[in-house]
Protein backbone atom coordinates (compact mmCIF):
# COMPACT_ATOMS: atom_id res chain seq x y z
CA UNK A 1 0.00 0.00 0.00
CA UNK A 2 2.04 2.93 -1.29
CA UNK A 3 -0.66 5.56 -1.79
CA UNK A 4 -1.40 7.76 1.19
CA UNK A 5 -4.54 6.38 2.83
CA UNK A 6 -5.86 9.83 3.68
CA UNK A 7 -6.00 10.73 -0.03
CA UNK A 8 -8.56 7.99 -0.73
CA UNK A 9 -12.32 8.32 -0.27
CA UNK A 10 -13.36 6.31 2.76
CA UNK A 11 -14.96 3.43 0.77
CA UNK A 12 -11.80 3.04 -1.30
CA UNK A 13 -9.61 3.31 1.79
CA UNK A 14 -11.58 0.54 3.50
CA UNK A 15 -11.56 -1.52 0.30
CA UNK A 16 -7.75 -1.25 0.29
CA UNK A 17 -7.67 -2.68 3.80
CA UNK A 18 -10.16 -5.37 2.89
CA UNK A 19 -8.17 -6.23 -0.22
CA UNK A 20 -5.05 -6.83 1.83
CA UNK A 21 -6.95 -8.93 4.30
CA UNK A 22 -8.65 -11.00 1.63
CA UNK A 23 -5.26 -11.87 0.16
CA UNK A 24 -4.17 -13.21 3.55
CA UNK A 25 -7.35 -15.15 4.23
CA UNK A 26 -7.81 -16.50 0.69
CA UNK A 27 -11.30 -14.98 0.54
CA UNK A 28 -12.77 -17.44 3.06
CA UNK A 29 -12.52 -15.61 6.37
CA UNK A 30 -15.17 -14.86 8.99
CA UNK A 31 -15.43 -11.26 10.19
CA UNK A 32 -15.35 -11.11 13.99
CA UNK A 33 -14.88 -7.36 14.47
CA UNK A 34 -15.55 -4.45 12.14
CA UNK A 35 -15.74 -0.97 13.63
CA UNK A 36 -15.64 2.46 12.09
CA UNK A 37 -17.31 5.50 13.51
CA UNK A 38 -18.85 7.38 10.59
CA UNK A 39 -22.39 6.71 11.84
CA UNK A 40 -21.60 7.75 15.40
CA UNK A 41 -22.29 11.21 16.80
CA UNK A 42 -19.33 13.58 16.86
CA UNK A 43 -18.52 14.52 20.47
CA UNK A 44 -20.02 11.34 21.93
CA UNK A 45 -18.39 8.02 22.85
CA UNK A 46 -18.36 5.37 20.11
CA UNK A 47 -21.61 3.42 19.86
CA UNK A 48 -21.33 0.02 21.57
CA UNK A 49 -22.89 -1.80 18.60
CA UNK A 50 -20.63 -1.75 15.54
CA UNK A 51 -20.82 -3.36 12.10
CA UNK A 52 -19.62 -6.63 13.63
CA UNK A 53 -18.83 -7.02 17.32
CA UNK A 54 -18.98 -4.29 19.93
CA UNK A 55 -16.88 -1.47 21.34
CA UNK A 56 -16.54 -0.76 25.06
CA UNK A 57 -14.88 2.26 26.68
CA UNK A 58 -13.16 2.84 30.00
CA UNK A 59 -12.35 6.54 30.05
CA UNK A 60 -10.22 6.40 33.21
CA UNK A 61 -8.81 9.90 33.68
CA UNK A 62 -9.47 10.87 30.06
CA UNK A 63 -12.08 10.60 27.33
CA UNK A 64 -12.91 8.45 24.32
CA UNK A 65 -15.06 10.34 21.82
CA UNK A 66 -15.80 10.39 18.11
CA UNK A 67 -14.30 13.28 16.15
CA UNK A 68 -14.85 14.47 12.59
CA UNK A 69 -11.16 14.01 11.78
CA UNK A 70 -7.84 14.02 13.63
CA UNK A 71 -6.63 17.35 12.23
CA UNK A 72 -7.50 20.08 9.75
CA UNK A 73 -6.82 19.28 6.14
CA UNK A 74 -7.87 15.63 6.32
CA UNK A 75 -11.09 14.21 4.83
CA UNK A 76 -14.14 14.26 7.10
CA UNK A 77 -14.07 10.58 8.08
CA UNK A 78 -14.90 10.09 11.73
CA UNK A 79 -12.35 8.57 14.08
CA UNK A 80 -12.32 7.56 17.74
CA UNK A 81 -10.04 9.82 19.78
CA UNK A 82 -8.46 8.36 22.90
CA UNK A 83 -7.36 11.25 25.10
CA UNK A 84 -5.37 10.82 28.32
CA UNK A 85 -4.51 14.38 29.38
CA UNK A 86 -2.63 13.89 32.66
CA UNK A 87 -0.05 11.49 34.03
CA UNK A 88 0.11 9.60 36.25
CA UNK A 89 -3.62 8.87 36.25
CA UNK A 90 -5.95 5.93 35.48
CA UNK A 91 -5.54 4.64 31.91
CA UNK A 92 -7.98 5.42 29.11
CA UNK A 93 -9.08 2.52 26.89
CA UNK A 94 -11.29 1.48 23.98
CA UNK A 95 -11.81 -2.24 23.38
CA UNK A 96 -13.13 -3.94 20.26
CA UNK A 97 -14.90 -7.14 21.29
CA UNK A 98 -15.43 -10.02 18.86
CA UNK A 99 -18.95 -11.01 17.88
CA UNK A 100 -18.18 -14.64 18.77
CA UNK A 101 -15.42 -16.80 20.15
CA UNK A 102 -13.24 -18.29 17.44
CA UNK A 103 -10.80 -20.55 19.28
CA UNK A 104 -7.43 -21.51 17.85
CA UNK A 105 -6.82 -20.48 14.25
CA UNK A 106 -5.40 -17.82 11.93
CA UNK A 107 -6.50 -14.23 12.63
CA UNK A 108 -5.86 -10.98 10.81
CA UNK A 109 -6.12 -7.49 12.33
CA UNK A 110 -6.04 -4.26 10.37
CA UNK A 111 -6.53 -0.85 11.98
CA UNK A 112 -5.83 2.75 10.98
CA UNK A 113 -3.93 4.84 13.53
CA UNK A 114 -3.11 8.54 13.74
CA UNK A 115 -0.57 9.67 16.34
CA UNK A 116 -0.04 13.44 16.69
CA UNK A 117 3.36 14.94 17.38
CA UNK A 118 4.13 14.94 21.09
CA UNK A 119 1.68 12.18 22.06
CA UNK A 120 2.78 9.63 24.63
CA UNK A 121 2.93 5.88 24.16
CA UNK A 122 -0.17 4.41 22.48
CA UNK A 123 -0.80 0.68 22.91
CA UNK A 124 -2.61 -1.99 20.89
CA UNK A 125 -3.29 -5.03 23.08
CA UNK A 126 -4.58 -8.54 22.34
CA UNK A 127 -6.92 -9.97 24.97
CA UNK A 128 -9.10 -12.93 25.89
CA UNK A 129 -12.77 -13.17 24.98
CA UNK A 130 -14.84 -11.53 27.72
CA UNK A 131 -11.77 -10.71 29.80
CA UNK A 132 -9.06 -8.06 30.04
CA UNK A 133 -6.33 -10.71 30.33
CA UNK A 134 -3.69 -10.01 27.64
CA UNK A 135 -1.16 -12.14 25.81
CA UNK A 136 0.52 -9.62 23.46
CA UNK A 137 0.78 -5.87 23.16
CA UNK A 138 2.40 -3.32 20.85
CA UNK A 139 3.61 0.07 22.12
CA UNK A 140 3.84 2.88 19.57
CA UNK A 141 6.76 4.80 21.02
CA UNK A 142 7.65 8.54 21.06
CA UNK A 143 10.72 7.71 18.95
CA UNK A 144 8.46 6.59 16.10
CA UNK A 145 9.04 2.85 16.34
CA UNK A 146 7.13 -0.04 17.90
CA UNK A 147 8.07 -2.01 21.03
CA UNK A 148 6.68 -5.49 21.64
CA UNK A 149 5.70 -6.63 25.16
CA UNK A 150 7.85 -3.95 26.86
CA UNK A 151 11.08 -5.54 25.55
CA UNK A 152 13.45 -2.79 24.44
CA UNK A 153 15.38 -5.11 22.13
CA UNK A 154 12.12 -5.91 20.28
CA UNK A 155 11.70 -2.44 18.78
CA UNK A 156 11.13 -2.36 15.03
CA UNK A 157 9.87 -0.26 12.13
CA UNK A 158 8.99 3.37 11.70
CA UNK A 159 5.65 5.18 11.67
CA UNK A 160 4.81 8.81 10.82
CA UNK A 161 3.39 11.44 13.12
CA UNK A 162 0.45 13.61 12.08
CA UNK A 163 -0.78 11.31 9.30
CA UNK A 164 -2.60 8.00 9.24
CA UNK A 165 -1.01 4.60 8.76
CA UNK A 166 -2.12 0.99 9.16
CA UNK A 167 -1.02 -1.66 11.63
CA UNK A 168 -1.43 -5.22 10.37
CA UNK A 169 -1.16 -8.30 12.58
CA UNK A 170 -1.38 -11.88 11.31
CA UNK A 171 -1.78 -14.12 14.33
CA UNK A 172 -1.55 -17.92 14.22
CA UNK A 173 -2.75 -19.71 17.35
CA UNK A 174 -2.39 -23.49 17.64
CA UNK A 175 -2.63 -25.89 20.57
CA UNK A 176 1.14 -25.73 20.99
CA UNK A 177 2.16 -22.15 20.16
CA UNK A 178 1.11 -18.72 18.93
CA UNK A 179 3.04 -16.41 16.61
CA UNK A 180 2.28 -12.97 15.24
CA UNK A 181 3.58 -11.22 12.13
CA UNK A 182 3.28 -7.46 12.70
CA UNK A 183 3.69 -4.93 9.88
CA UNK A 184 3.32 -1.18 9.45
CA UNK A 185 1.75 -0.02 6.17
CA UNK A 186 1.10 3.28 4.42
CA UNK A 187 3.05 6.38 3.42
CA UNK A 188 5.88 6.99 5.89
CA UNK A 189 5.31 3.66 7.66
CA UNK A 190 7.57 0.65 7.24
CA UNK A 191 8.92 -2.41 8.99
CA UNK A 192 7.74 -5.77 10.23
CA UNK A 193 8.60 -8.33 12.87
CA UNK A 194 7.66 -11.84 13.95
CA UNK A 195 6.76 -12.46 17.58
CA UNK A 196 6.29 -15.68 19.55
CA UNK A 197 3.75 -15.47 22.35
CA UNK A 198 5.31 -16.39 25.69
CA UNK A 199 4.50 -19.98 26.73
CA UNK A 200 3.14 -18.80 30.08
CA UNK A 201 0.55 -16.67 28.22
CA UNK A 202 -0.68 -19.41 25.89
CA UNK A 203 -3.81 -20.13 28.00
CA UNK A 204 -4.86 -16.51 27.35
CA UNK A 205 -3.97 -16.70 23.63
CA UNK A 206 -6.25 -19.73 23.29
CA UNK A 207 -9.10 -17.46 24.43
CA UNK A 208 -8.38 -14.61 21.96
CA UNK A 209 -11.45 -12.43 21.54
CA UNK A 210 -10.70 -8.69 21.83
CA UNK A 211 -8.31 -5.92 20.78
CA UNK A 212 -7.76 -2.95 23.10
CA UNK A 213 -6.45 0.52 22.13
CA UNK A 214 -5.24 2.49 25.12
CA UNK A 215 -2.88 4.97 26.74
CA UNK A 216 -1.42 4.00 30.10
CA UNK A 217 -1.33 5.81 33.42
CA UNK A 218 2.25 7.08 32.98
CA UNK A 219 1.68 8.71 29.56
CA UNK A 220 -0.38 11.60 28.27
CA UNK A 221 -1.72 12.86 24.97
CA UNK A 222 -4.24 11.80 22.34
CA UNK A 223 -4.28 9.31 19.51
CA UNK A 224 -6.91 8.27 16.96
CA UNK A 225 -8.21 4.91 15.74
CA UNK A 226 -10.41 4.01 12.76
CA UNK A 227 -11.37 1.14 10.42
CA UNK A 228 -10.76 -1.73 12.87
CA UNK A 229 -11.15 -5.07 11.16
CA UNK A 230 -10.49 -8.60 12.47
CA UNK A 231 -11.11 -11.76 10.45
CA UNK A 232 -10.53 -15.41 11.21
CA UNK A 233 -9.53 -17.70 8.36
CA UNK A 234 -12.05 -20.50 7.87
On whether the pTM is more than 0.85, the answer is yes
Q: Find out whether 13 and 1 touch, Cβ atoms under 8 Å.
A: no
CATH of residue 151: 2.60.120.200
DSSP state of 200: G
Q: What is the mean pLDDT of residues 209-214?
A: 98
Residue 216 pLDDT > 60: yes
Instruction: Provide the greatest CA pair distance for the chain.
Output: 48
Q: What's the CA gap between 10 and 79, in Å, rounded?
A: 12
Instruction: Give the per-residue pLDDT at 20.
Output: 53
Residue 208: domain span: 5-233
Burial 37-51 (b: 16+ CB within 10 A, else e): beebeeeebbeeebe
What would the pLDDT profile of 59-110 be if each residue is shown by its tens digit? Answer: 999 999 999 999 887 778 899 999 999 999 999 999 999 999 999 999 999 9
Give the count of domains, the chain.
Answer: 1
Amino acid sequence: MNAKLDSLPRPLRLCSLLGLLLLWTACNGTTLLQANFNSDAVGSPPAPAQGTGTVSVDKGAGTVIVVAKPTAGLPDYRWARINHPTAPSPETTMTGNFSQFGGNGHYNLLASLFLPSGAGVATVQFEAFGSSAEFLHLDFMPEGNVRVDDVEASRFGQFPRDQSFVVSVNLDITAAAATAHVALLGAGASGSTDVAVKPALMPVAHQFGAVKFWMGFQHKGSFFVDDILVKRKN
